[in-house]
Structure 1
Amino acid sequence: MIPGPRRAAGRGAVVVPAAAVGLALLAAVALALPAAPALASLPQVGRPEVDRQVLLFLVDAVSFEELLAVPEIRALARAGGAGLMSPRTVPGDAGPGAYLTLGTGARSAAPSPRVVAYDRGEPLDGGNADDLWAERYPDRDFPVGPFLLDVGPYVRLNEGRSVPGILTAVLHGARRTVAVFGNSDTEAGRDRPAMLVGMDPTGDGVGGRIGVVFAPRPGGRGGPLAFPIAEPDPDALGGFRTDLDVLSFAALGARIPNPSPWLPAHLTVFDMGDTRRIDVAAPGAPLARVLRERQAALARIGQRIASLVGRAAAHEVLVIVVAPSTSHDMDARKDELTPIVLARGDPAELFPEEGPLHALTSDTTRRVGVVSNEDVAPTILRYFGLFLRAEMRGSPIRVVEEARAPFRLHARHLANRRMTVPIQAGAGVAVTLAGLLCAWLVVRGPRASLRARRAAAWVALAVPPAAVALLLAGHLSTLSYATVVPTVLAITAFGTLAFLPLRRISAFAPPAAVALASILALVAEAGYGWTAALTPFLGGSELDGARFYGMPNVYIGLLLGCGLWVASRLRPWSGAALLGGLALLAGLPGAGANLGGAFTLWFGAGLWAGARTGGRVGVRGLAMGAAAGALGTGAVLLAHVLAPGAPTHGARFAARAAHDLGTVLDVLLARLGIGIDLIARNPLALIPSVGVVALVIVLLRPPGLLRPALERDRAWWDALLVTAVGGVVAYLANDTGPSAAGLAFGTSLAGIAWAALSADEGPPPGERETGTRTWRSRPEPG
């Protein structure tokens, strides 16, 4: 537990409340300075020689609208911009990994929910933090500033993924100073997550104060006074409240007499504390009280941010205000994006009273209004003119003055989050019922009504249009049940029944046309930059941080299945060429930018060529698929490497693989782990994952009930088998394997249902009708 406000401390220091007379005198001297506009007229005596400064304010567990409602923050967004930030971390994170990610530039994990760190000399029961260090490390020098007692767990947990402390290490190497101030301590104990942003690789904060601030007694007699940054407050949620006067006094040097009016460090990290404390205590408190206390805390924080920005020693400063993680009530309404505000310039000009609020973006997301938590560290390094480190996966954030702050995008995100699960559940129920109906009619065979069989066949054919409709609904200007549901039903119905006349040509002309239309819709969506994928109703949103741009994994199986439906109507090598073109659509950096999708489709192209020219799906076809997958994906990776502009995730993967081939195996294992974790969290994801394997077995040795239907058209049979095998490959090649395999399972199953239930849709096997003419085509090979 944290010592109380009057508990005796070691080494002669005495902890006193911030309201004591001594602190009042210190605050009067150190804090009664003019605000930013008036500082320019002060004498510059003692002003640190700092060319540039970054002030990073951590205001955790607040929503975009809450933070932007603070007048001082809105002013910063006018001078710079505001954005939605993905706070995503990695599996195994206990919570503070979001803070660690800010300092590593790569998604990271923390081993425990609280970050226990200490100040040098911080009072503890019966001693102080120096005693604790000396007991643990008798042969090591004391740290310079605040410290983690053991940084090892953070390093081990993120091995091969990120480098804790890398931001501070790079800045120190460039002779830039770093300081960390503030904490999020609660009644549960110490919690100093800002240390994860500003520490070096040894866990040393080097500069700053995170627990207590020492000051000499008035008159200079006796030991120093220790002023806690977080004052116990039994009336506040969390039991503590940041004393912003003490925080500022510490950041300004904690000197008396002759206090400095300037912040001296190149990078200063402030943990404002109160909003995180409020959220920690939120589960047991009324929501109205949580919102009320958070609003009051934000008002205090906004005023203090403006005051501290005015104390920057440099004439040019970069100010970043960010919420590292979501709050409990944000989680309850499925708000997966936190706010970030960034402004750069003269401190006296960063709080304009009028003007539009601009947007932020980065090359990591390639979406206006959206950035990643991996972008913060690269932004700081680039601001200081330093090279980005290869271990960092983010990109510098930049202001888009032509775009407005993403309030509308956030509202669409929230609407999508509210509706997507019910709509996907409804679609899942509909597909399940349709599948059961088709299965029952197949089992009944000729005993079932011909009209029912035909109707069920067309219902099965609706799978691709329905999947496309659930994506395109993301383009609707208003996202509500009243707009989304009718749109999805209309697109599905039209995309299926529009090809009803084609049944006069052949039994397999309608599915080929449906598939071609679905492919063209995906091509058009790629031309629009996959903007519908920001708020889709099938699969995950590109705002959730897994994939910010390009083709979502859920459409890999659809592109594969539809491509093979069309290829079954073409000559073997023409079909393979079509699949190769779709692989480029899926994988090239300016199109789908989906490496797993590219590999899956290249594999499908090779396997299709082998199956159609060799007469069966066998070892030869699998070898051709593997070769096509390797060579085709290699070409796509080369395109990523050579593409102009910022490197894509594909280019970074190619660079890592060229340096260490073991990276490929590590990535594959990590992707399999993510897929397994997805199944563990949602057992229904097991259905397509196991289903594609089951379909491969069924299609290799079809039961007597299905064999006659499949033998109607060998090319169609092969297309369904290659789709199922491709679904297995898609699972193995992508991080969200069940999602990637899902529509491969769906289109293969729908194709089986069509073959079994549409026997009377076209002319007899081997014949083709056009108007009144009928002729017999050459038999299929094999």
Structure 2
Amino acid sequence: MRKMTIFVVGICSVFLTVFFSFTTSILSQNRPTVIMLLVPELTRQDIRALYQNAAFSFLNQAAIGEMNMRTAVSLRDIHSVLTLGTGTRAAGSEWGRNAYGLSEKRTTGLAMYRQYMGEVPAMVRNGTILFPYASVLAENNKQKNTGAIPGLLGETLKKHGIRRAVIGNSDMSGKVSRLSVLLTMDRRGVTPQGWIGEETLIHSPFFPGGKKTDYSFLAYHVRQWQKRGTGFIAVELGDLVRLARYQSVISTQRYLQLRQQVMEEIAKFTETLTKERTQGQKIVLLSASLPDSEIAEKKRMAPVLLWEDGRGGGILTSGTTRQPGLAANIDMAPTILTWFGIQPPIEMKGMPLRTEREIGHDEFWKKAERIDHIYATRPAVLYPYVGMTITVLVLSSVLLFSFDRWKSTKEKALRILSYLLPFVLLVPFLLLLLPVVPGLPSPFLVVLLVSGVGLGLAHLLQRLSFAACYFWIGIINWVPLLLDGFTGGELICGSYLGYDPVIGARYYGIGNEYMGVLLGASILSIAMAGEMQRRHARRLVLTLMVLIVGLVVFYMAWPEGGSKAGGILVFLAALVYGIPAFSGFAWRKRYVAALLGIGMAAACLLFVLNYQASGAEQSHIGRAVGELARGNWQEIGRIIERKLTMNWRLILASIWSKLFIASFVVSLLLIYYQSERVGRIKRQYPWFTTGMKTISFGSFVALLVNDSGIIAAALAMLYALVPILYRLLWNGEASKEYTQHAPI
């Protein structure tokens, strides 16, 4: 009987052991797992080279994208990795490189942890990774008011029972660098399990520095962690950083050969993981930083690849960028949490990544090259335009104030200006059409094309009457711009005056450049319509003002359209000013208060409607309204601070500030020293002068309410100042002998 009991108990024990092992295995296979491969100094060119190697066809199964690397400070890896782990633009510190495994430097690691963090948690055991300087990073971000919380990703995963592990490093001789710990640690700087010391490296006498990553060691432990149900595993592959340290002391050919070798090893390691991928598992390969050479060449977008369940392929995007193939570094932490079914904390400002499989990799490579090309060549195109515009404004002013001198040259100058003044206002329209030009034209070719087409168009338009000429200049600028905006913004996206995803300034909607063009051109065309139809001018102008500005405000408020909070306020302000100005009503306090109240109520309504959009459809306007609704005044303060800081920087250093100052100075000179001639134009063209005042008022509001308002104000002002100069140069005493060069 006793033997029978022992036998039965033994059989049951074996059965239960096998049952629970089998159940655990099944559950671990179905449980979501995320493996993040963090490769410092990985570039898009490295990935492109692997794509061209037939041995790595597994890359075609990945969803690919490129990632904006903007942080609260710079593009250095210490800031980039902390940004990846906090979901908002963060400021790292050199202390952030120093993490220790208890099995590596137990005494030193524990002592430093106690010094900076206090008592060591009870859960700490052999294999735990400690980051002693979590409080240092937290204080650094608090002082800089970034809103970033170091360890937020790991802390959120811990609260939801997701196990975390980290492995690998970017150590070099005499320098510790273990930034991947910033992704897995909780707010106390603890990662429950990991290997980040010398044990992750092997000695290699043929590799600069003599040490490189032990991929077999990494693969073994990743497998073991997966079997034990670890949910989030961060793997740091630092050989590119180690190689870059010796770039200056080895030949270029040898460096490129070794870089290719490292990339092939990374690809083989990644392929091994993808082949062993279980259901529900996701593998992300992304860059933690960019080489200095890439930054110098203005190639500042980092690659990101994702392997997940499904058909494979496709390209990545997110609610932050809304552009296929583009993501932001702040999107990674919310994405990881979403994969585990966790709602990202409100402190994370990014949006989850999603895959668009309808678009192939070939389209991604073309778009990525175009983004790099536009970013690198933008100064070579825009600087000559702004410089020429300032020169035209100054030359026009000189001719106005010194018309009786230099009689031998004034006729030639007037003839040239009769083309250049309209041309200045046509350039934004021509830059909008530039994306239809095939290939990637050089800056010289762009300038040549814009100049040739623009001057030819100016020659045709200046043959019309003054009112008709500038009416069509206005129409040509704002109608195609608005049509493109309502149909997806493909032209704005590829224009030199459009988005700048490289610096993360604008990914979608309408930027300050074209907002200024839209403001100036639309009001100019409305005013000139009144000049062309004097008999029914008032009704026509007021009707057009309400319809056009109302349409533009709707476009600005629409999440899929302009999505420009400042634009809503600017155009509502222009409407509030323009209606009484064009109507000829007296400015009464009661009337002004009523209009301001209606305008603010309309703006609030539009903001709330934007907030009602859900998920990825909600724009940054809606998210800002959400922060306001939650009473998150700290974040609202940070938004205002960022906008003021950006505007001040642009005022001090931007070429647009120079254009605005030049326009402002010329306007003051006209008001104070050419008042008689300006008064004559006012009597001759009352609707035109009222329109110019409305544009000037809108420009002033744009300067106040936009984070880059100086840009919008500078471009909008041109559509008021250039027609006035044009008319002054060919009006009255200043041009008695030269009226044949300009329209009446």
Q: Give the TM-score range, shorter chain.
A: 0.7 to 0.9
Question: Could you tell which deviates more after superposition, 203-212 or 511-520?
Answer: 203-212
Confirm whether residue 306 of structure 1 aligns to residue 277 of structure 2.
Answer: no
Pick the aligned partner of 2:391 from 433, 457, 465: 433
RMSD, matched Cα: 3.7
Counting helix residues as a fraction of each chain, which structure ranks higher? 2
Who is 1:23 aligned against?
none
Alignment check: 8 A CA contact 2:151 2:184 kept: yes
Question: Could you tell which deviates more after superposition, 128-137 or 607-616?
Answer: 607-616
Separation in structure 2 between the aligned mates of residue 59 and residue 589 of structure 1, nearest angstrom: 35
**Compared CA separation, residues 698 and 389, structure 1 to 2 (3 A):** farther
Who is 1:79 aligned against?
61
**Compared CA separation, residues 316 and 645, structure 1 to 2 (3 A):** closer
**Compared CA separation, residues 442 and 113, structure 1 to 2 (3 A):** farther
Pick the aligned partner of 1:381 from 337, 340, 347: 337
Pick the aligned partner of 1:200 from 179, 183, 186: 186
Percentage of pairs with the same residue: 21
Separation in structure 1 between the aligned mates of residue 398 and residue 663 of structure 2, nearest angstrom: 20
Alignment check: 8 A CA contact 1:610 1:622 kept: no
Separation in structure 2 between the aligned mates of residue 699 and residue 575 of structure 1, nearest angstrom: 29
Pick the aligned partner of 2:446 from 471, 484, 503: 484
Who is 1:584 aligned against?
554
**Compared CA separation, residues 64 and 138, structure 1 to 2 (3 A):** closer
Who is 1:648 aligned against?
619
Confirm whether residue 104 of structure 1 aligns to residue 86 of structure 2.
Answer: yes
Tell me the SS of whatever aligns to 2:191: coil
Who is 1:122 aligned against?
104
Who is 2:134 aligned against?
151
Who is 2:4 aligned against?
none
**Which aligned pairs between 1:374-453 and structure 2 lie closer than 5 A?**
374-405=330-361, 406-445=364-403, 449=410, 452-453=413-414
**Compared CA separation, residues 160 and 135, structure 1 to 2 (3 A):** closer
Confirm whether residue 318 of structure 1 aligns to residue 282 of structure 2.
Answer: yes
Pick the aligned partner of 1:265 from 230, 237, 254: 230
Alignment check: 8 A CA contact 1:700 1:721 kept: no
Confirm whether residue 293 of structure 1 aligns to residue 270 of structure 2.
Answer: no
Confirm whether residue 466 of structure 1 aligns to residue 427 of structure 2.
Answer: yes
Tell me the SS of whatever aligns to 1:84: strand
**Compared CA separation, residues 250 and 343, structure 1 to 2 (3 A):** closer
**Which aligned pairs between 1:55-70 and structure 2 lie closer than 5 A?**
55-70=35-50
**Compared CA separation, residues 387 and 341, structure 1 to 2 (3 A):** same
Pick the aligned partner of 1:333 from 283, 294, 297: 297
Q: CA deviation at 1:266?
A: 0.7
Who is 2:542 aligned against?
573
Confirm whether residue 243 of structure 1 aligns to residue 214 of structure 2.
Answer: yes
Confirm whether residue 278 of structure 1 aligns to residue 261 of structure 2.
Answer: no
Pick the aligned partner of 1:345 from 300, 303, 309: 309
Alignment check: 8 A CA contact 2:63 2:306 kept: yes
Alignment check: 8 A CA contact 2:164 2:230 kept: yes
**Compared CA separation, residues 178 and 661, structure 1 to 2 (3 A):** closer
Alignment check: 8 A CA contact 1:556 1:730 kept: no
**Compared CA separation, residues 336 and 134, structure 1 to 2 (3 A):** closer
C-alpha deviations, 1:605-662, integer Å up to 9, x for none?
A: 2122344446799989986785565334323323322346622211111111122273
Separation in structure 2 between the aligned mates of residue 371 and residue 433 of structure 1, nearest angstrom: 40
Separation in structure 1 between the aligned mates of residue 190 and residue 320 of structure 2, nearest angstrom: 29
**Compared CA separation, residues 131 and 644, structure 1 to 2 (3 A):** closer
Tell me the SS of whatever aligns to 1:550: coil
Alignment check: 8 A CA contact 2:375 2:502 kept: no
Question: Could you tell which deviates more after superposition, 622-631 or 408-417?
Answer: 622-631
Separation in structure 1 between the aligned mates of residue 137 and residue 704 of structure 2, nearest angstrom: 29
Separation in structure 1 between the aligned mates of residue 210 and residue 586 of structure 2, nearest angstrom: 71
- Supply the AA of the counterpart residue of 1:634: C
**Compared CA separation, residues 208 and 495, structure 1 to 2 (3 A):** farther
**Which aligned pairs between 1:477-556 and structure 2 lie closer than 5 A?**
477-481=438-442, 484-503=446-465, 507-538=466-497, 540-542=499-501, 544-556=503-515
C-alpha deviations, 1:306-351, integer Å up to 9, x for none?
A: 2344555x443111111133222221221122111111139xx98x
Q: CA deviation at 1:56?
A: 0.8
Structure 1: gaps of 5 or more residues: 1-42, 213-226, 254-259, 351-356, 765-770, 775-782
- Supply the AA of the counterpart residue of 2:693: L
- Supply the AA of the counterpart residue of 1:367: Q
**Compared CA separation, residues 643 and 488, structure 1 to 2 (3 A):** farther
**Compared CA separation, residues 128 and 473, structure 1 to 2 (3 A):** same
C-alpha deviations, 1:682-733, integer Å up to 9, x for none?
A: 3534324545665675676564475345434343333333323322322332
**Compared CA separation, residues 706 and 106, structure 1 to 2 (3 A):** farther
Who is 2:159 aligned against?
173
Separation in structure 1 between the aligned mates of residue 307 and residue 221 of structure 2, nearest angstrom: 24
Question: Could you tell which deviates more after superposition, 137-146 or 545-554?
Answer: 137-146
Separation in structure 2 between the aligned mates of residue 180 and residue 318 of structure 1, nearest angstrom: 16
Separation in structure 2 between the aligned mates of residue 609 and residue 552 of structure 1, nearest angstrom: 26
Alignment check: 8 A CA contact 2:390 2:662 kept: no
When the two structures are superposed, what TM-score results if normalisation uses the length of structure 2? 0.83
Separation in structure 2 between the aligned mates of residue 109 and residue 676 of structure 1, nearest angstrom: 21
C-alpha deviations, 1:446-503, integer Å up to 9, x for none?
A: 6664674364144212222101212221232212137533432344235433433431
Separation in structure 2 between the aligned mates of residue 389 and residue 494 of structure 1, nearest angstrom: 56
Pick the aligned partner of 2:121 from 108, 132, 141: 141
Q: CA deviation at 1:598?
A: 2.1
Confirm whether residue 132 of structure 1 aligns to residue 101 of structure 2.
Answer: no
Tell me the SS of whatever aligns to 1:533: helix
C-alpha deviations, 1:5-27, integer Å up to 9, x for none?
A: xxxxxxxxxxxxxxxxxxxxxxx
**Which aligned pairs between 1:716-735 and structure 2 lie closer than 5 A?**
716-735=688-707
**Compared CA separation, residues 49 and 661, structure 1 to 2 (3 A):** closer
Alignment check: 8 A CA contact 1:689 1:728 kept: no
Q: CA deviation at 1:404?
A: 0.9
**Which aligned pairs between 1:641-720 and structure 2 lie closer than 5 A?**
641-643=611-613, 646=616, 647-660=618-631, 662=633, 663-679=635-651, 682-688=653-659, 690-691=661-662, 694=665, 703-704=674-675, 707-708=678-679, 710-711=681-682, 712-720=684-692
When the two structures are superposed, what TM-score results if normalisation uses the length of structure 1? 0.79
Q: CA deviation at 1:428?
A: 2.5
Who is 1:561 aligned against?
520
Who is 2:606 aligned against?
636
Separation in structure 1 between the aligned mates of residue 87 and residue 118 of structure 2, nearest angstrom: 33
Question: Could you tell which deviates more after superposition, 646-655 or 578-587?
Answer: 578-587
- Supply the AA of the counterpart residue of 1:273: G
**Compared CA separation, residues 261 and 176, structure 1 to 2 (3 A):** closer
Tell me the SS of whatever aligns to 1:461: helix
Q: CA deviation at 1:179?
A: 1.0
Alignment check: 8 A CA contact 1:605 1:625 kept: no
Tell me the SS of whatever aligns to 1:568: helix
Tell me the SS of whatever aligns to 1:546: coil
Alignment check: 8 A CA contact 2:570 2:701 kept: yes
C-alpha deviations, 1:229-264, integer Å up to 9, x for none?
A: 2457686457752232333344455xxxxxx88474
Confirm whether residue 367 of structure 1 aligns to residue 302 of structure 2.
Answer: no
**Compared CA separation, residues 282 and 437, structure 1 to 2 (3 A):** farther
Separation in structure 1 between the aligned mates of residue 542 and residue 390 of structure 2, nearest angstrom: 35
Tell me the SS of whatever aligns to 2:357: strand
**Compared CA separation, residues 178 and 206, structure 1 to 2 (3 A):** same
Tell me the SS of whatever aligns to 1:524: helix
Tell me the SS of whatever aligns to 2:36: strand
Separation in structure 2 between the aligned mates of residue 502 and residue 582 of structure 1, nearest angstrom: 28
Pick the aligned partner of 1:210 from 193, 196, 200: 196
Separation in structure 2 between the aligned mates of residue 670 and residue 579 of structure 1, nearest angstrom: 28
- Supply the AA of the counterpart residue of 1:183: N
